[in-house]
Structure 1
Amino acid sequence: MSKVMKVVLTHDSAAAHWGDASVSFDGDTASIHLSDGDHGRQVQAAARKLSSQGIRSVCLCGDHWTAALQWQFGGGFQTAKLDAEIQWLNDDAQLARQWQSATWLRELVNMTPEDLSPEVLADRVAEKLTELAPDKVSSKQWVGEALLAAGWVGIHGVGRGSERPPVMLELDYNPTGDADAPVEVALVGKGITFDSGGYSIKPSASMVAMKCDMGGAATVASALHLAIANGLDKRVKLFLCCAENLISGHAYKLGDILTYKNGTSVEIVNTDAEGRLVLADGLLAANEAGAKRIINAATLTGAVMVALGDDYNGLFGLHDGACNDALAAAAEVDEGLWRLPLAKFHQAKCPSAFADTANSRAQKGGGTGGASNAAGFLSRFAGEPENGWLHFDLAACYADSSNGMWSEGATAVGMLTLAQLLK
């Protein structure tokens, strides 16, 4: 390490301090002054203050640090340059594993769309997880026209406009040694490595951060990485639905109809509602695998950000027990998660005169209730696994600009919840 700043927590509010984060300095020691209220947010805001002062190496020392507070410090201290060096209290091995998985997640999400094509994303995830457990991981990919031959029409349709082919990755983590062991959980991630909106093109200001549209894929992959590092002993399959949503003479168009493997026909009324189209294939694949529980994650809708801001991820499901499990997991790891409405009637909220359903409403942002309507669309493909299906709409996984809690870029919020659920 370079010169290291010691960071301690104190309840002494009488000492001189500055700013809302209540930080004071004494030589090579920074004191974070805790007051009544949410200590986690206070610590994270203090970490942002320290980071903005150019401090990049710290040692967390003294009393009052919990694992959760240390983790929230790390969230505020890290930047998009991934140059933070943190010595955890007592060299906590669990925090070190979490930090390694979160750093990998951030690295993937923050990569330029030129460097992270659909194939590169699939390859990097397969290589990373195989490296972690080489005798327990196997994988296969469908690339380009092979997707169409296999019936994965959503990923192919969305990705066919790019010169760089779309991909579905299926990765099987099976620590049991039994090839016929049941799949306890299937993870499905939206891996749109760049989203122009297609012919329903986004304005430039909305497009500049769209390298983050594979945040769902990165979140489920990093959660599995952490769970494996923590000794996961159950079989889990990972499905990543990877594509670039671009405009060309080969791109899918408004008015096109896609017919999925389960027979559901979908009219395209908004090419910028592409995430649900690729996830539909992943959900069908998860059902084909016989997964007892299916979990998908995606940066799916702007509507969920209108509802929740960027402090919570949105949760949807039709199985109350599964949703309660997810909320309990989020509370255990101190991540923001909020359940939003989803009922069977939401499946009919995007009607089409030409197909079983449309992929959205032909209105700005998909109209009212857009996040629930998107979840309703996905529920057509989720099946009824015995332990339920969960949909995470990741409003909190990426910061479009720096603020008092996060630097600009990937936040990794959601990873710990999913890894906890895998227990």
Structure 2
Amino acid sequence: MMENLDNSILNAPLIKVSPPGPKSLQILKQQEEYETSAINYPKYFKIAVDRAQGSTIVDVDGNVYIDMVTGISVINLGHNNPYVKSAVEEQLNKVWHTLEVPTEIRTNFSKKLLSTLDFKAKLLFTTTGADAVEAGVKIARWITGKKTIISFEGSYHGITAGTLGFTGANKYREFQEFFDNRVVKFPYPYPYRCPFKDCLNDVLSLIEYALSNPGYLGNDVAGILVEPIQGEGGYVIPPKGFLKGLREIADKYGILLIVDEVQTGMGRTGKMWAYQWEGIKPDIVCISKAVGEGIPLSMVAFRHDLDKLPTGFHLGTYRGNPLGLAAGLASLEFIEKYDILSRVQRLGNKILKELSTRISNQHVGDIRGLGFMIGIELVSDGKSPWSEGTKKVIDESLKRGLLVYKAGRWDNVIRLMPPLTIPESLLDESLKILQETLNDL
């Protein structure tokens, strides 16, 4: 069934010339001439893309790759998805840009998205994932009248001046002197590297202590900002009960719970939203990436009774772009119509089982995941992070026709983000390549 819904090149991978090929090298050289040296991804993927179909990418030299990166969990339903493409083309013939003046696509999208959240909410459209986080924090501060935000080490919420303080990696602060510093970071329960005896309860107890102690945080905390699964932090899956524990703490101390679903949302984990695995109801949800299926779109969904915001509270010219909304509505419909969530749960379990049983290498320290959000942590000896290993895996996988990427606090985690529609035959081939690459380390 999915083979007919995904226009992948099913004989992938196909390597005609070892990457980078001559045509790719020429275009990469032109990019170096025209663009800043600060760009990142061409340093890992030394190819120039010609076209993309379903779960496959074709470079200008004719090589065909299986894509397990999806633009960092953006193209969730596959490149050039015909269902989404048709909806965007239809909207192209109507209107491309309207500011906040309502359109049929705007109201239809809003109604559909809100129906997936499990709680009565309102929407505030934003422009990027970081902008959604900024808006979510602004709402929490405005409503509570408090300023401090709790976030977590290893987190990633953006690197704008307004979000950099919430993000766990200090390296980004080298480039930005001014950022929001009304934030207190706590350990994120990281089972593979947890320094505590009871990873879950000890972390929750630390937060509880800080909130109950007037000499520490006192009564100035507006919100708890958390990723249900850490993305850039290494695809770290916290112990079950973490979000529920945060919800209980937030309720006890009158704090708003802000869940960052930018990378985990839109079916990536096998639920529409990752927080739904814990059965909780957040106060604020930050949404972006896959909601626009490659067309920039983001928003904040927040409890309807918190809608006490003044006119002009958060602005931006491109908020709620009609083309992105058309892609978003089509994506939500597609996920529901073709039962994508159960597929992701089933195949996600298969990936974990296959990798865990077939990979035998002392450098593979931990394999973890939920749905189509899989992390493979590499170590050099014992548990020492091995960042050089991830570069080796990315390079060697590319040569074999598979695109994978890294994550982690030490850049030592290979993360797999396949399209939710990937044909099972291509998924099997990807796992075979990955198995061979990792076992050959």
TM-score band by shorter chain is under 0.3
Alignment TM-score, normalising by the size of structure 2: 0.25
Higher relative contact order (CA 8 A, sep 6+): 2
